[in-house]
Amino acid sequence: MVNTRWLLFVVRDLGEFSCKKWMCLLVLFWGANTGLSQPVVREYFDRRGEKCSSDSSYYYSLGKKNNRGFFYDSLKSYYTKSNRVKTIELRDQYGNRMGSCESYYESGRLKSRSRYDKKMFRIFDTNPDSTEYLILDFADSLGHFQVKNGEGFVNGRLDFLMEQGKVLHGLRDSVWILYYDDGKVYSYESWEAGQLIDGLSYDETGKEHYFTKLLVLPEPKTGLTEFCDDLGTKITYPRNAEKRGIEGKIVIDFWVEKDGSITAPHVCKGIGFGCDEEAIKALITSPHWVPCKKRGQPVRYKMTIPFLFKLS
C-alpha cells in the first residue's frame, strides 16, 4: 500500500484565493526542492511497505529527507533483524527513484536490478510497488535468474506482492497476475510493451474493481476552485501575527483516507503566532476528497500543502 515518503508527489497550481483583505497562495505539491543539506533519517516499515514502529518493522530505510518530507539522494534500506542490505537506490529532489536500483533477499543474494528513467515518469508516485521502471534482472532466492537482460518471466516478489508475468525488453507485457500473501488473486492485468491496457482487482471482501490506471491521485470532491474558495473563507489572519508583521510559508502534510476524509495534519514548517493553527483548522474542516485509487481500490494517500501567509 502506500508509503509516506510517497507523496505522492506533480506540482498542481490551485491558484490564489482571498483570505479577507489578505491573499493566501495555496499550491498542491507532489514534489519539493531539496534546499539545504539535511541529516540522515531512519524510518521503519512493515512487510507491506507501511510505516510502523521499530519493534514491529520488517525493514528500515536510511537516507536524507528534504523539507517536504521526501527522501532524495542515495537511499538504502536494511532488513531489521539482520541489518543486511535490502535495497540500494537513488532518488531525485522530488522523491522519485532514478537510475539503477538493486534489491536483495534476506540471505544476501541479489534479487533484482532495475532502472528508473526520467522519460518513463508519468506521475510522481510514492507507492513502493510502482511499475515505472525497467526490469533488467530478477532471480529467485536460490540465485536462479528468471529474467536476464530484460527478458524472461517473473514469478516472485518484485516488491511486496507476489507477481507472475512476462518481461520483454525490460517491460511488462501480456497478462500479469498479482497475489495477496494468502495466495488469493489481487489483480489480473493486461500489459503491452510497458503500457497498462486494463485490469481487474479484488479487495479483501472479494469485490471487483475495474481499472485502466494503476494510480488515480486524490482530489477535492468539490473541485479545486471551490476547495480554494472554501479555505479562503475559513482562514483569518491572526491578529498577533498581523501586529508583528509575520509573513511566510507554512507546510502541512496530511492523509487522505479511503473514505476521502482528511486526517493527521502535521506542520512540517510553521511560522507561529497562530498562523499554523489557522491553516490546520481550515484544512481539517474542508469537505471530503475523492480518495486515491490504486488498481481501482481506494487507498490512503499522504499529501503536502504549503500555505503562503502574506500581508497586503
pLDDT by 10-residue block (mean), the chain, 312 residues: 28 32 37 52 91 95 84 94 96 85 96 81 43 90 96 94 96 97 96 95 96 93 84 87 91 92 92 93 92 95 86 82
- DSSP tag of 183: S
pLDDT of the residue at 258: 95
pLDDT of the residue at 270: 92
C-alpha grid cell, residue 164: 507472475
pLDDT of the residue at 17: 33
- C-alpha span between 230 and 283 (Å, rounded): 9
pLDDT of the residue at 119: 53
C-alpha grid cell, residue 124: 510522481
β-strand 185-192 against 292-294: which pairing, if any?
unpaired
C-alpha grid cell, residue 175: 497478462
- DSSP tag of 190: E
Backbone angle region of 239, left / alpha / beta, with phi > 0 → left and psi within -120 to 50 → alpha: alpha
Extended beta strands in 92-179, E state? 97-104, 110-116, 134-139, 145-148, 151-157, 162-168, 171-179
- C-alpha span between 49 and 10 (Å, rounded): 22
Candidates 3.30.1150, 3.30.460, 1.10.540, 3.90.320; CATH matching 12-31+217-310: 3.30.1150
Helices then strands, each counted (H, E), the chain: 3, 24
- Amino acid occupying residue 208: E
